[in-house]
Amino acid sequence: MATTLFTSAAGVFRGNLHGHSTHSDGQNSPADVVRLHREAGYDFTCLSEHLWTDPRFSAPTIIDATAFDSADFITIISAELHCPGKAHDRDGLWHIVANGLPADFPVADSSETGPELVARAVAAGAYVTIAHPEWYSLTDDEARSLAAAGAHGVEIYNHSSAIEAGRGGGIATLDLLLNEGDRVHLTATDDSHHVPGDAFGGWVMVAADSLTAGDIIASLKAGNYYASSGPDFIDISIDGANLDVGTSPVDRIILAGDRHRAEFVAGDGLTTARFDLADFNSAFFRVVAIDARGQCAWSNPYWMDDLG
């Protein structure tokens, strides 16, 4: 009997976890950010404004944009958290995305460290991810410190960093942590500052019971979603030793594991692939689908010992 790892059969909600408005350094008003995402077919967005004390680009308070919610679109109270101590950043600041924060979450003080800030956000109930690791040259030790503090995931794709700096990836950081046993997730985001110019390029598709902030955050924490810059996963399941993957039409479906282990199926307009896990010999696997335009969908990692 097949075991379903992910399915979109019951419906999924499309959302952006990382974006900005005029509350911090974005060019669009909060109302416009919400309107433009709703018109683009999203179900939710997060105004993850820079939470810090420098008025050049940040605000000392979190914005609550839930007044713009409707029956078919919601916002999730979020922030991009900052504190000092990050190497290779022009302001020396950590960048940490936290979705599902309380609106009164306090700004960090100058003595708080990045790992301490992650731990405080996790304790407050947020889904916490490591922002744009490639963009500001996150070191391996820095990544380890945030994962040890409880960060849930890594931005594997940051759209504005990709199109404006050529530094939008996070696969190296993700796989470092996975290979060292950290069971982190992955996200794709826009980090948008001027919608639509740097928006609608990276998102998550979340399988949740309802379009509410609580259910979306719970599904994110459970890893019940995938990330994308284009393609869709329809379903991912295991039948015996076989992994079955269903997608929108793509050119390549890749099974990626630990220690650079990988297998792939290629073809024109693929919508299914089957992989034999019996000899894959990896502690975990994740699935990547790549379409004809080079856009990707990334599944979350699945751990063999969890799957029996």
Which pLDDT score, from 0 to 100, does residue 112 have?
98
For position 2, what pLDDT does the model report? Answer: 82
- Assess contact for 59 and 51: CB atoms under 8 A: yes
Among the four given CATH numbers 3.40.50.1950, 3.40.50.300, 1.10.1240.10, 3.20.20.140, the one describing domain 11-228: 3.20.20.140
Domain ranges of the chain: 11-228, 233-307
**Residue ranges of the chain with per-residue pLDDT less than 70:** none
CATH code for residues 233-307: 2.60.40.730
Angle at the Cα of 65 from the Cα atoms of 62 and 70, rounded to 5 degrees:
160
Q: pLDDT (tens digit, 9 = 90+) per residue, 171-193?
A: 999 999 999 999 999 999 999 99
The pLDDT of residue 308: 79
Phi then psi for 31, rounded to 5 degrees?
A: -65, -40
β-pairing verdict for 96-99 and 78-81: antiparallel
| DSSP state, residue 267 | E
Write out pLDDT tens, residues 197-255. Answer: 999 999 999 999 999 999 999 999 999 999 999 999 999 999 999 999 999 999 999 99
pTM for this predicted structure? 0.96
Cα–Cα distance for residue pair 216/183, rounded to 1 Å: 20
Alpha helices per DSSP H over 51-200: 114-123, 140-148, 159-165, 171-179
Return d(Cα 37, Cα 107) in angstroms, integer. Answer: 27
User: What pLDDT score does 254 carry?
Assistant: 98
